[in-house]
Amino acid sequence: MNIHERQQDGQPPQTQKKQPGVESKMEPAPVHPTDYKGSGKLKDKVALITGGDSGIGKAVAIGFAAEGAHVVINYLEEDRDAEETKSMIEDRGAKCLLVKGDVSDESFCKELMDKTVKEFGQLDILVNNAAKQFPQNSIEDITSEQWDLTYKTNIYPIFYLSKLAMPHLKQGSSIINTTSVTTYMGNKELIDYASTKGAIVGFTRSLAQNVADKGIRVNMVAPGPIWTPLIPATFDEKHVEEFGTDTPLGRPGQPRDLVGAYVLLASEDGAYMTGQCIHVNGGMWMSS
């Protein structure tokens, strides 16, 4: 299917039943920016991307590498996806460091930052992208354990890594956080997930003001329904089959649809943007 075509029938029914999902098991495979042509916008920069082995993180890593950046990819356990992404980065002439581990653990976040700086001697771009979601039909089905895990995965690491990054970032550096359309529209099955993504909005806008005098920019991207491993790993077959077809553009987004927004916010093209959110959601209505 052409990426621009409306997709009335959705995806083939499928589930993976376990997070994190595996991209190599998805049908069809997500569309990545393999034909993206860089122009040196991030030449010799170093970017750290959490959740960078697949989905949105993988697409951003490929785009950054094409623009000349070296990339550190954090991932939880998907070795095959991570190695494939590393190969694609290196094919574009960039260096790639894979660091496996759980960013909900503060001590691991320190280890991740230390390895990044030891390997490359600098950090210019931090992309906080890792996330989990656990759909539930009722708030009564959300356990305290699920609530804690969602928060500890989706918002705590953004605080840990942003704080740890500060001694290494300098004027012109950039932090980019991945929030979600669910923050702005709500989602009856993703109460805890949507609320963590709302916390990211408040954190991003506040940190942007806090570090503006240092010349460090802090922005965010709010994806709509994007075809990533998180979808078959968390939704049932019916949800997957219908996923994204109710957007005005009539299809789920693909990881490659996000690359331009992240490159803009990471590069000098976005030098006058901080505390801002770019919505990449297929035309879904935003109330604010």
Which are the catalytic amino acids? 193
Instruction: Give the largest CA-CA distance in the chain.
Output: 51
DSSP 172: T
Neighbours of 118 (CB within 10 A): 9
DSSP 178: E
CB 154 within 8 A of CB 193: yes
> Token digits for 247?
């957007």
Tokens 């550190």 belong to which residue? 72
In the sheet with 174-178, reading across from the earlier edge strand, the strands are 96-100, 70-75, 46-50, 125-128, 174-178, 217-223, 277-280
> Token digits for 165?
């990054």
